[in-house]
Amino acid sequence: MPSATPFFTTRRAFLRACGALPAAALVGCATPGARAPQRLRLLGEATLPYRMNFQGTTVGGLSGLDHDPAKGMWVALCDDRSELQPARFYTLDVSLAERALSVEVRGVTTLRTAAGQPFPRRQSGGDVVDPEAIRFLPRGAGLLWASEGDSRAGQSPTLRQALLDGAHVRDFDVPAHLHYASQPGTGARDNNTFEGLALTPDARTAWVAMEAALHQDGPEPGVGRPGGPCRITAFDVASGRAVRQVAYLPDAVPRAPLLPGGFSDNGVSEILMLDAHRMLVLERSFSMGAGMSLRLYEIDTRGASDTLPAQRLVPGEYRPAAKRLVADLDDLGLSRLDNTEGMCWGPRLANGHRTLVCVSDDNFNALQVTQFAAFEFLESE
């Protein structure tokens, strides 16, 4: 993070501390600049109550979202690090019609360790998780879910398979260069690891996106300065091993904080496959006093170098994925922009178009909101 903000090392820490700040310090105006192409059309919004109680758990912090069209089932992953209640996901009823969206929580499932126990609180050490992304596997194989881990607990990011009842199936083999490192200036940045997860249509490949660059790959984005490359890694689902990786360059922070030296950041918050090779990448930025910015891009993984063997990415020695703007969500008529971290395909509309459904992580902060938004997705020409 910028050196001028020494008291907050992550966006989550800052936003959770903002409960004492006036709302004007958090909510901002529209993103300046040219309007984005209109490849999304807003269909509807829905919100859940702040700190809603469901079967003894606190609903909030929803950082992953997915829909199984075969079963009509929806899941939302909570990023509670077992601090309020054990790590968990919720099942939802989602009803989508023209210009209308409704969401109801129907069930909650506790995720479990390989030993069959709920994941411990971070203060307890051990296998600490920070759940961030979730995808259904076909044919009753359960779910994939990604965790950022916890650097202070010595737990690096993980990609895991679980059954629908939360039982652990296996861990994937995460390459060592994506781990938190003991050597300064190398490895993953704290709370900037596995943030996005996408599954190819044939479910043979799972892509996992780092939120920010590794220490050795470049800086985090700043105002007027793009960040270093975020690595997006492809895993073979059958073997659980990484098979390829591409580099993605996030934008500069689009708006300066209203107070000089105020907190700001930008990074990848979710990814989603369009087809076997094309991917949607959601960039989420926050600047103190200026609010959120959400931009959706499209990339083609075939056009980028394979960076998996590279321990350090040096400009000019690799080819990043070229990106094309799909939409600036500030242009789409939403009632507000919040900390959107989950994104999935919903049911197709009567005209055959796909629907894109997103959810925001409220950080269990009263000044934020758990917001679901549904869009009609228009394919590019």
Per DSSP, the three-state class of 124 is helix
Q: pLDDT tens across 182-213, in order?
A: 888 999 999 999 999 999 999 999 999 999 99
Residue type for position 332? L
Look at residue 8 and tell me whether its pLDDT is greater than 50.
Answer: no
Structure-token pair, residue 223: 């105002």
Per DSSP, the three-state class of 308 is coil
Q: Are 103 and 370 in contact (CB under 8 A)?
A: no
Of 86-95, 130-139, 372-381, minimum mean pLDDT range:
372-381
Distance CA 158, CA 193 (A): 9
DSSP 8-state code for residue 122? G
Taking the mean position of all CA atoms in its chain, how far away is CA 93?
21
Place of tokens 């994925």: 321
Contacts of 177 (CB under 8 A, 6+ apart): 187, 214, 311
Look at residue 20 and tell me whether its pLDDT is greater than 80.
Answer: no
Distance CA 75, CA 358 (A): 12
Distance CA 200, CA 276 (A): 5
pLDDT of residue 123: 78
Per DSSP, the three-state class of 65 is strand
Q: Are 57 and 70 in contact (CB under 8 A)?
A: no
Instruction: Using alpha carbons only, give the angle 318, 33, 286 rounded to the nearest 5 degrees.
Output: 70
Look at residue 12 and tell me whether its pLDDT is greater than 70.
Answer: no
Instruction: Using alpha carbons only, give the angle 164, 168, 173 rounded to the nearest 5 degrees.
Output: 120
pTM for the full model?
Answer: 0.92
Q: 97, 87, 14, 72: which is closest to 292 by C-alpha?
A: 14
Going 178 to 180 to 186 to 190, the CA torsion angle's sign is: positive
Look at residue 35 and tell me whether its pLDDT is greater than 70.
Answer: no
Distance CA 241, CA 234 (A): 8
Structure-token pair, residue 325: 């703007």
Strands (E), 8-87: 40-48, 52-54, 57-59, 62-68, 73-78
Q: 275, 222, 265, 267: which is closest to 249 by C-alpha?
A: 267
Look at residue 376 and tell me whether its pLDDT is greater than 60.
Answer: yes
Paired with 295 in beta bridges are: 283, 328
pLDDT of residue 83: 96
Pairing of strands 370-377, 354-360: antiparallel
Look at residue 36 and tell me whether its pLDDT is greater than 70.
Answer: no
CB atoms within 10 A of CB 170: 11
The HSE-up count of residue 321 (CA atoms within 13 Å, CB side) is: 28
Inter-CA distances, 86 with 103, 129, 293, Å:
23, 10, 31
Pairing of strands 62-68, 73-78: antiparallel
Look at residue 82 and tell me whether its pLDDT is greater than 50.
Answer: yes
Q: Are 271 and 197 in contact (CB under 8 A)?
A: yes
Q: pLDDT tens across 311-355, in order?
A: 999 999 999 999 999 999 999 999 999 999 999 999 999 999 999
Taking the mean position of all CA atoms in its chain, how far away is CA 89?
15
